[in-house]
A and B are shown apart, each in its own frame.
Chain A
Amino acid sequence: MAKTNPHVDVVMIGLGWTSSIMGMELTDEGLSVLALERGPDQDTVPDFAYPKMADELTYGVRYQLMQRPAKSTLTVRHGIQDLAVPYRSLGSFLPGNGVGGAGTHWNGHTWRPQPNELRLKSYVEENFGADIIPDEMTIQDYGVTYDELEPHFDRFEKVAGISGKAGNLNGEIQEGGNPFEGWRSDDYPLPPMKRTLNDTLFRDMAASEGLHPFPLPAANASQAYTNPYGMQLAPCNYCGFCERYGCLNYSKSSPQTCVLGALKQRKNFAYRANCEVMKVNLASDGKTATGVTYIDENGDEVIQPADLVIMGAYSLHNVHLLLLSGIGKPYDPISGEGVVGKNYAYQMNGGATLYFKDKHFNPFIGAGANGETLNDFGVEQIDFGQEGFIGGSYFNAAMTNGQPIRNMPLPKGAPSWGAEWKQAVQETYGHTMTIGSHGSNMAYRDCYLDLDPNYTDDHGRPLMRMTFNWKDNDVRMTQFMKQKIDALSKALGPDDYKLSFKDFDSQYDVRPYQTTHNVGGAIMGSDPKSSVLNRYLQTWDVHNVFVMGASAFPQNLQYNPTGMVGGLTYWAAKAIREQYLPNPGPLVQA
Chain B
Amino acid sequence: MSAKLDNASRRGFIKGSLMMIPAVTVGSGVSLTAKADEPPANLADYQPTYFTDDEWRFVMAACDRLIPSDGDGPGALETNVPIFIDKQMEGKFGHAADWYMKPPFHPDVSPLFGYQSPLTPREVYRKGIEATQEYCQAQHGKSFAALDHDLQTQVLTQLEKGDITFDDVSATQFFAFLLQNTKEGYFADPIHGGNKHMASWKFIGFPGARASYLAWVDQRDKAYPLGPVSLTGERG
A and B interact physically = yes
Binds A, one of B62-70, B124-132, B133-141: B62-70
Which of B70, B98, B112, B189 is close to A69, meaning CB atoms less than 8 Å apart? B98
A365 at the interface (CB under 8 A from B): yes
Closest to A359 in B: B221
Q: In the assembled complex, how far is the CB of residue A100 from the closest CB belonging to chain B, in whole angstroms?
A: 19
Q: Digit string of B179-218 for contact with A (CB within 8 Å is 1, else 0)?
A: 1001110011101100000001101111111111110111
State whether B109 touches A83 (Cβ < 8 A): yes
Q: Digit string of A399-437 for contact with B (CB within 8 Å is 1, else 0)?
A: 000111100100000001111011101100110000000
State whether A88 touches B114 (Cβ < 8 A): yes
Which of B101, B102, B192, B209 is close to A51, meaning CB atoms less than 8 Å apart? B209
Contacts of A417 in B (CB 8 A): 65-67, 156, 179, 182
Interface size on B, residues (CB 8 A): 62
A418 touching B211 in the complex, CB below 8 Å, given contacts A73-B100, A362-B224: no
State whether A418 touches B66 (Cβ < 8 A): yes
State whether A422 touches B68 (Cβ < 8 A): yes
Contacts of A200 in B (CB 8 A): 220
Give A87 to B98 CA distance when docked, in angstroms: 12
Interface size on A, residues (CB 8 A): 65
State whether B214 touches A238 (Cβ < 8 A): yes
State whether B188 touches A360 (Cβ < 8 A): no
State whether B112 touches A510 (Cβ < 8 A): yes
Which of A91, A419, A422 is close to B114, meaning CB atoms less than 8 Å apart? A91
Tell which of B100, B102, B106, B210 has the most Cβ of chain A within 10 Å. B100
State whether A88 touches B100 (Cβ < 8 A): yes
Binds B, one of A57-65, A116-124, A319-327, A496-504: A57-65
B16 at the interface (CB under 8 A from A): no
Contacts of B106 in A (CB 8 A): 83, 85
Q: Digit string of A53-79 for contact with B (CB within 8 Å is 1, else 0)?
A: 111110001110000111001001000
Contacts of A70 in B (CB 8 A): 97-101
B13 at the interface (CB under 8 A from A): no
Which of B65, B200, B223 is close to A360, meaning CB atoms less than 8 Å apart? B223
Which of A360, A364, A403 is close to B221, meaning CB atoms less than 8 Å apart? A360
State whether B206 touches A360 (Cβ < 8 A): no
State whether B100 touches A239 (Cβ < 8 A): no
Contacts of A56 in B (CB 8 A): 187-189
Give A53 to B211 CA distance when docked, in angstroms: 9
Give A165 to B203 CA distance when docked, in angstroms: 39
Contacts of A54 in B (CB 8 A): 189, 208-211, 231
State whether A239 touches B212 (Cβ < 8 A): yes
State whether A425 touches B204 (Cβ < 8 A): yes
Give A194 to B219 CA distance when docked, in angstroms: 11
A47 at the interface (CB under 8 A from B): no
Q: In the assembled complex, how far is the CB of residue B97 from the closest CB belonging to chain A, in whole angstroms?
A: 7
B143 at the interface (CB under 8 A from A): no
State whether B72 touches A422 (Cβ < 8 A): yes
B153 at the interface (CB under 8 A from A): yes
Contacts of B115 in A (CB 8 A): 88-89
B93 at the interface (CB under 8 A from A): yes
State whether B217 touches A238 (Cβ < 8 A): yes
State whether B214 touches A237 (Cβ < 8 A): yes
A365 touching B224 in the complex, CB below 8 Å, given contacts A56-B188, A241-B211, A404-B206: yes
Closest to B217 in A: A194
Contacts of A88 in B (CB 8 A): 99-101, 114-116
State whether A454 touches B104 (Cβ < 8 A): yes
State whether A196 touches B72 (Cβ < 8 A): no
State whether A508 touches B204 (Cβ < 8 A): no
Closest to B230 in A: A51
Q: In the assembled complex, how far is the CB of residue B202 from the closest CB belonging to chain A, in whole angstroms?
A: 11
Contacts of A454 in B (CB 8 A): 104
State whether A421 touches B213 (Cβ < 8 A): no
Q: In the assembled complex, how far is the CB of residue A92 from the closest CB belonging to chain B, in whole angstroms?
A: 8
State whether B189 touches A426 (Cβ < 8 A): no
A57 touching B184 in the complex, CB below 8 Å, given contacts A86-B102, A88-B99, A196-B217: yes
Contacts of B189 in A (CB 8 A): 54-57
Contacts of A137 in B (CB 8 A): none
A507 at the interface (CB under 8 A from B): yes
**10 interchain residue pairs of minimum CB distance:** A54-B209, A239-B211, A57-B188, A69-B100, A197-B220, A365-B213, A404-B187, A429-B204, A194-B217, A419-B70
